[in-house]
Amino acid sequence: MVGRRRPVTLEYLHAMNNVIDFINVNRERYLEELKALLAIPSISALPEHAGDVRRCAEWCGDEMRRVGLQNVQLFETPGNPIVYSEWLGAEGAPTILFYGHYDVQPVDPLDLWLSPPFEATIRDGEIFARGSADDKGQVFMHLKAIEAHFKQNGRLPVNIKLILEGEEEVGSVNLDNFVKGNKELLKADVVVISDSAMFARGVPSICYGLRGLVYFQIDVRGSNTDLHSGVFGGALANPAFVLAQMLTGMKERNGTIKIPGFYDDVVPLTDEERQAWATLPFNEKQYRKTFGIPKVQGEPGYTTLERTWARPTFEVNGLLSGFTGAGAKTVLPAVSMAKVSMRLVPNQDPNTIAKLFEDYVQKLAPKTVEVKVTRMHGGKPWMASFDNKFIQAAGRAIEQGFGRTPVFTREGGSIPVVATFQEELGLPSVLFGVGLPDENAHAPNEKLDCDNFHNGIIASAVLYQEIGKL
Ligand code: BES
Ligand code: MN
Ligand code: MN
């Protein structure tokens, strides 16, 4: 399988041109079909959507059958099902393990959406819906690339196994066990994932690093009931204040994280990476303008790209306490709550960092309140070298789909299973994403650029051929 490159014959080129023609002719149909997938509210975080999540898994399985994939199965987990399918008819060619997720993030605040999140709407060349970019649109791109090969040639140029997960947005809590328990089923040569972004419009990219994550809830209780702030104020600790003080205790003013030992395992950026990233067309002024940021800030000595791609963070994701309605209410809240998380970089280990954090919270917690820390999900960081033949093949495919060679990026986001594929299956991953940084993933008005979606189908189709030739 490895080290053998089949010659590019005319017949082979012809087969590929047919596939690309088919994709071009079917452009509008793909968007219409994608709308049906985007209409299913498969929100994994909300228990009331469990039925929709399952319906979405079934829809994906049916679609896999429709495009020509075989052995379609729904694997049950303690949570949401994993959808599996394969086509293994390309004798002697490598096998791709494709991974994607069919679950989506919640849609609140709903009133900020310009069109309903589960009624996909095309405006100005972008398809708006929850899941359009993250990750249904990008998964669908591959299903349509597969369909095009089958329709035109009756076969694929490569072997492929697909797994679609329904719990990525809630930390992939059951996927590691599935991977560990199904090593033979998942045996392959390379993982392909489209669940990341391009560097910028017109600048396609291949991602070779992801940050990891640990996520916590902190609950603080100061009394057994809310209290009159005049009658009791001054006599006991206010949990909102205590929590705020604990949170500010996590960082220096300049952003450096104060948890003892937090940076011990951080792999420093190399000069090569810094130089390469400095040449990327990053426009800080535009970045600030796009997101309405008055002034960027972060760890001293690092650029914005370095801070988000290669440095760890401590962030508050949510904060709750006391009276937040209209008007004024003189009250001492009984409780306060924060959701906090840390993004991790190689070689920080989520379990180690979790322990350091928990110990530090207990150290910061005053005796005047009860503090409870609950660990939620997490995932390991991942980084790969990008000089392997699969990444080179992806570069050629992207060039055909997008008309220019990709740049190499790391990303600040997390896809927990990527490290698992490396550790448990020994597989490299190729992350070729077609989202854009301003496509509002996890936010109101999520969208996917229709041209990128279309070019992504072509690039995916070529990618199968390119990997098939290796
Ligand atoms: N697709 C994203 C991750 C991502 C975003 C990778 C941008 C590269 C660029 C994924 O769906 C996601 O949101 N992951 C979560 C993981 C978490 C819930 C464990 C994240 O990063 O917050
Ligand atoms: Mn995603
Ligand atoms: Mn996501």
What's the helix, strand, coil split of the chain in %, to 5? 35, 25, 40
Question: pLDDT (tens digit, 9 = 90+) per residue, 407-458?
Answer: 999 999 999 999 999 999 999 999 999 999 999 999 999 999 999 999 999 9
Give me the residues near ligand 2 (ion), CB cutoff below 5 Å: 134-135, 195
**314 has pLDDT over 90:** yes
For residue 105, which ligand has an atom nearest its CA?
3
For residue 446, which ligand has an atom nearest its CA?
3
Residue written as token pair 């640990």: 214
User: What stretch of H or E contains 274?
Assistant: helix 271-278
- From the list 210, 73, 52, 214, the residue with the least C-alpha distance to 136 is 52
Of residues 63, 103, 134, 449, which has the active-site annotation?
Answer: 103
What are the residues whose beta carbons fall under 8 Å from the beta carbon of 351, sequence distance 6 or more?
none
Question: Does residue 358 have an active-site annotation?
Answer: no
Q: What is the C-alpha to C-alpha distance for residues 277 and 393, in angstroms, rounded to an integer?
A: 22
Out of 105, 135, 138, 195, give the residue to mutate to test ligand 1, the one with the largest number of ligand atoms within 8 Å of its CB.
195
Asked if residue 195 has its Cβ within 6 Å of ligand 1, the reply is yes
Percentage of the chain surpassing pLDDT 90? 95
**280 has pLDDT over 80:** yes
Is residue 463 within 8 Å of residue 394, measured between CB atoms? yes
Asked if residue 169 has its Cβ within 6 Å of ligand 1, the reply is yes
Alpha helices in 342-449 (DSSP H): 350-364, 389-402, 417-425
Question: Does residue 359 have an active-site annotation?
Answer: no
Asked if residue 159 has its Cβ within 6 Å of ligand 1, the reply is no
Asked if residue 104 has its Cβ within 6 Å of ligand 1, the reply is no
Q: What is the C-alpha to C-alpha distance for residues 255 and 331, in angstroms, rounded to an integer?
A: 32
Question: pLDDT (tens digit, 9 = 90+) per residue, 217-269?
Answer: 999 999 999 999 999 999 999 999 999 999 999 999 888 999 999 999 999 99
What are the residues whose beta carbons fall under 8 Å from the beta carbon of 409, sequence distance 6 or more?
199, 205, 206, 207, 208, 280, 309
pTM, two decimals, is 0.94
For residue 197, which ligand has an atom nearest its CA?
1
Q: Which atom of ligand 1 is nearest to the CA of 215?
A: 19
CB neighbours of residue 260 within 10 Å: 11
Q: Which atom of ligand 1 is nearest to the CA of 442?
A: 13
**6 has pLDDT over 70:** no
The secondary structure of 82-151 as a DSSP string is: EEEEEE---TTS-EEEEEEE--B----SGGG-SS-TTS-EEETTEEESTTTTTTHHHHHHHHHHHHHHHH
Give the model's pLDDT for residue 310: 98
Asked if residue 134 has its Cβ within 6 Å of ligand 1, the reply is yes
Question: pLDDT (tens digit, 9 = 90+) per residue, 133-146?
Answer: 999 999 999 999 99
